[in-house]
Amino acid sequence: MENGELIPHLFRTEYRKIVAVLCKRFGFEQIEVAEDITSDTFLTAAQGWGIGGIPPNPVAWLYNVAKNKAKNHLQRGHVFDSKVVPELVHDLIDIPEIDLSPQNINDSQLQMMFAICNPVISPEAQIGLSLRILCGFGIEEIADAFLSNKETINKRLFRAKEKLREGEVKFEIPNKAEIDERLTSVLTTIYLLFNEGYYSVSQNKTLRKDLCLEAMRLCTMLVENESTNKPQVNALLSLMCFHASRFDARLDNNGEPILYEEQDTDLWNTDLISKGGYFLNRATSGDKLSRYHLEAGIAYWNTQKADTQEKWENILQFYNHLLQIEYSPIAALNRTYALSKANGKSAAIMEAEKLNLSSNHFYFMLLGELYTGINNDQAIVNFNKALALAKTPADKQAIQKKIDKLY
């Protein structure tokens, strides 16, 4: 791998690890210092490797430079403290080594995850910080993901860090008594991060897929840790595996969305479907049923290629249960599609029109589909409403094709 490709790759994989370890060592109040030292380490690499060539072990080189820069920062701090408070001078003799061992890196990232996914900041800010600190995304990439600009993202991340400091958020994995409650926020953030990629309106396909893969990586870290390996965590990972298995079948070569029933099932990833089944089976322990269990059940049946009555009745029942424990308009809309497959279009139209999601173009797209073949004029009316609300060129093109077929 060339220098121009290696450093961005290492930034994505190693930045988050170094920042997490340094932040754990310095404390959350000095998170900017941890980020600055890490960024400076990569700047040193870019300058040095361009002249002297890539070292034999680039990762070890980065860790060693980061350690030295962190130690210099600590020494400068101790020198200042010893001048202000002379009795602290003995601390100069023993500055603890910066621990970049695999175990401490893993522990630090988990602790950082719980710190960032704290309700004192908004879900949007949690996702932004997760992308930056836990996933190593650049500011431009985050701006692209949120369809925003660098200045806005920088301000959002700065305010989020300030709130975490003001809230004196602790850098730790919660104890057993608190773990389930704290996990709720962490899983919500991971779930939203995955959705940011899976349902993104960004045309950057690589970025969209990367967002999903990063969410799955974070959830895998939780599964692999004994204290966080809970049924709901396995259920969420199962859900994401099932969804990700159909990623390549959801868009055509022009980036236009492909409806579920028109997807090429040969493009579904069977390895991810198998993994989804494995984690769903692991999620069956315990006596708590989470939304992730129910959504994973729906996603499982959506990976079954046979278009059977049993499949759609099971999906419909999962949606019924999901709406009872946590209602959302989108889940209700998706349930209506399952209802049309299980009980017919006429029954689904009656239920769909009760929802009246008049600002959602997917709502009118579904109504257009349901009316197609029953009342094509009404189908065209709804597709035109969807066209007026659609935000991306790809969505508009897909809807226009539906309209053209009805003339």
Does residue 174 have a pLDDT over 50?
Answer: yes
Predicted confidence at residue 90, as pLDDT, reads 45
Predicted confidence at residue 212, as pLDDT, reads 94
pLDDT average, residue stretch 347-366: 95
Share of the chain above pLDDT 90, in %: 71
Using pLDDT thresholds of 50, 70 and 90, give the confidence band for residue 69: very high
Predicted confidence at residue 239, as pLDDT, reads 98
pLDDT average, residue stretch 197-202: 78
Does residue 360 have a pLDDT over 70?
Answer: yes
Does residue 94 have a pLDDT over 60?
Answer: no
Predicted confidence at residue 50, as pLDDT, reads 87
CB 152 within 8 A of CB 240: no
Predicted confidence at residue 348, as pLDDT, reads 97
Does residue 148 have a pLDDT over 80?
Answer: yes
Helices (H) and strands (E) in the chain, counts: 18, 0
**152: how many CB neighbours lie within 10 A of its CB?**
12
Average pLDDT, the chain: 90
Does residue 78 have a pLDDT over 70?
Answer: no
pLDDT in tens, 296-306: 999 999 999 99
Predicted confidence at residue 89, as pLDDT, reads 43
Using pLDDT thresholds of 50, 70 and 90, give the confidence band for residue 255: confident
Tokens coding 246: 């159909």
Lowest mean pLDDT across 125-129, 170-174, 230-234 = 170-174
Predicted confidence at residue 2, as pLDDT, reads 66
Q: Residue 343's Cα: distance from chain center in Å?
A: 34
Does residue 389 have a pLDDT over 60?
Answer: yes
pLDDT average, residue stretch 276-281: 98
Predicted confidence at residue 339, as pLDDT, reads 97
For the entire predicted model, the pTM comes to: 0.89
Predicted confidence at residue 345, as pLDDT, reads 96
Using pLDDT thresholds of 50, 70 and 90, give the confidence band for residue 114: very high
Q: Which residue has the higher pLDDT, 130 or 393?
A: 130
Predicted confidence at residue 79, as pLDDT, reads 54
pLDDT in tens, 14-41: 999 999 999 998 888 899 999 999 999 9
Predicted confidence at residue 401, as pLDDT, reads 92
Predicted confidence at residue 205, as pLDDT, reads 75
- Alpha helix ranges (H) inside 356-405: 361-371, 376-389, 393-405
Distance in angstroms (rounded) separating the CA atoms of residues 397 and 399: 5
Does residue 377 have a pLDDT over 80?
Answer: yes
CB 23 within 8 A of CB 108: yes
Distance in angstroms (rounded) separating the CA atoms of residues 25 and 34: 9
Predicted confidence at residue 91, as pLDDT, reads 47
Predicted confidence at residue 1, as pLDDT, reads 64
Predicted confidence at residue 288, as pLDDT, reads 87
Predicted confidence at residue 220, as pLDDT, reads 98
Those residues with Cβ within 8 angstroms of residue 356's Cβ, 6 or more apart along the chain or in another chain: none
Residue that the structure tokens 């989470």 belong to:
290
Q: Residue 194's Cα: distance from chain center in Å?
A: 3
Predicted confidence at residue 200, as pLDDT, reads 75
Predicted confidence at residue 319, as pLDDT, reads 98
Predicted confidence at residue 88, as pLDDT, reads 42
pLDDT in tens, 305-327: 999 999 999 999 999 999 999 99
The size of the chain, in residues, is 407
Using pLDDT thresholds of 50, 70 and 90, give the confidence band for residue 84: very low
Residue that the structure tokens 């959506």 belong to:
302
